[in-house]
Amino acid sequence: MKIKTHHKSEKFERIKTARHRTNLRSASLTISNPRFGNTNGHDNHDAAVIKAYAAQSATAALGPFAIRRRDVGVHDVQIEILYCGVCHSDLHMVRNEWHQTVYPCVPGHEIVGRVTGVGREVKKFKEGDLAGVGCMVDSCRTCSSCQQGFEQYCEHDPVQTYNSEDTHLGGVTYGGYSKSIVVDEAFVLRVSDKLNLAAVAPLLCAGITTYSPLRRWKVGKGQKVGIVGLGGLGHMAVKFARSFGAHVVLFTTSPEKGADAIRLGAHEVVVSKDQGEMNKHLNSFDFILDAVSAEHDINAYLNLLKLDGTLTLVGLPQKPLGIAAFNLIGRRRQFAGSMIGGIAETQEMLDYCAAHGIVSDVEVISIAQVNEAYERMLKGQVKYRFVIDMESL
């Protein structure tokens, strides 16, 4: 299969244009990153061609595609991908809902697999080990955020696992819907062999994205905590909040998910369309985590916070959310956001999960089912994360 490449400057122009169209800071290219001065630092002819699944446009279904992976550098870990989770961000990105996607796009940032090669300076991994890769594959490592272990908030933007500039081969990075990946060991996570590997994959995004804010806002015993939306992120948030000792209330638009929510660890379930039920919880929450992927009324949840309570957004709906000022100022409420987690915290989360037997509830699919899986995810028909068995690619 022929590999499609774009002229780099043309790609930069396209990305820059896309960035003008969006105020979303997250993924995309980082032209200002000093590390990017050395694009193509590796010889392209060293690259291996491997199988992947890609979207060629915002409206095309994902299909087979060949990509290149760089040769293993001295600090690199080469991983044969065994499982990759399907995050709603993959769908947002594939369909260009954030106006920044570079095509062809190979999504996937919930990656687990086996190490098949290591560079001579690699300390943490050896061939045969299990390993994970999440949403980032590099960052500047020198800015104040990176120095504090907050690589996800790198002042030059982290290099995302897909749809960022590939500083080694040129073009953009390609994600985990593929046979293998080569990543600097600083961005590779250790994975326990005690847990079901397919069910570990979603921890690399859904897990850390919910663990990090629950820790940051010190969720624990004696607190009343709300989780909004029982999807991939939401079901992990319920598990963590319960494990940390909080009283957990799950808000859902899907009454049929109630029994699952209780099984996953919620103490109470509220169907958010039922105003009477919502009113019973007015002014009572210490903390609410909102993991909803689509437009919804955020004010309905701000009103449930008590004095000094915090609502933290992790969901990334395409359109802006409207906030009524009185809902914030009335009880000195706080409205915050949170993006994935740093590498050290991701390792902490994986170790916590291994120690407490926490994994994601997954439905394992073949790569050929991924387009159907996207449609089912949009309809809320996933319990509670699709994970692709990469053997099928």
Residue 237 lies near ligand NAP (rule: CB under 6 A): no
Per-residue binder mask for ligand NAP (CB under 6 A), 187-226, x = binder? ------------------xx--x-----------------
Instruction: Give burial (CB, 10 Å; 0-12/13-18/19+) of 159.
Output: buried
Residue 239 lies near ligand NAP (rule: CB under 6 A): no
Query: Which residue's CB atom is positioned nearest to ligand NAP?
Result: 231
CA–CA distance, 96 with 171 (Å, rounded to integer): 18
- Single out the segment in contact with Zn ion by CB under 5 A; choices: 17-25, 59-67, 83-91, 113-121: 83-91
Peptide bond into 384 cis (omega under 30): yes
CA distances, 112 to each of 29, 89, 201, 267, 374 (Å): 24, 18, 6, 32, 20
Q: Which of 72, 377 has the CB closer to Zn ion? A: 377
Nearest alpha-carbon partner for 82 in 130, 34, 141: 130
* Count, residues near ligand NAP per rule CB under 6 A: 31
Least distance in angstroms from the C-beta of 21 to ligand NAP: 18
CA–CA distance, 123 with 75 (Å, rounded to integer): 9
Site for ligand NAP in 120-179 (CB under 6 A): none
User: Residue 44: which of Zn ion, ligand NAP, none does it interact with, CB under 5 to 8 A by kind?
Assistant: none
User: Residue 33: which of ligand NAP, Zn ion, none does it interact with, CB under 5 to 8 A by kind?
Assistant: none
Q: Which of 209, 346 has the CB closer to ligand NAP? A: 209
Q: Which of 78, 173 has the CB closer to ligand NAP? A: 173
Residue 116 lies near ligand NAP (rule: CB under 6 A): no
User: Residue 154: which of Zn ion, ligand NAP, none does it interact with, CB under 5 to 8 A by kind?
Assistant: Zn ion
Give the list of residues 6+ apart from residue 122 with CB closer than 8 angstroms, or none.
74, 75, 76, 77, 185
Residue 146 lies near Zn ion (rule: CB under 5 A): yes
Give the list of residues 6+ apart from residue 149 with CB closer than 8 angstroms, or none.
342, 343, 344, 345
Write the DSSP string, 68-137. EE----TTEEEEEEEEEE--HHHHHHHTTTTS---SSB-----EEEEEEEE-TT--S--TT-EEEE-SEE
Q: One-letter amino acid identity for 204?
A: L
Residue 229 lies near ligand NAP (rule: CB under 6 A): yes
SS3 at position 302? helix
Site for ligand NAP in 261-300 (CB under 6 A): 291-294, 296
Which residues would be at the binding site for Zn ion (CB under 5 A)? 87, 89, 139-140, 143, 146, 154, 205
Which residues would be at the binding site for ligand NAP (CB under 6 A)? 87-89, 92, 205-206, 209, 229-234, 252-254, 257, 291-294, 296, 314-316, 338-340, 377, 380, 382
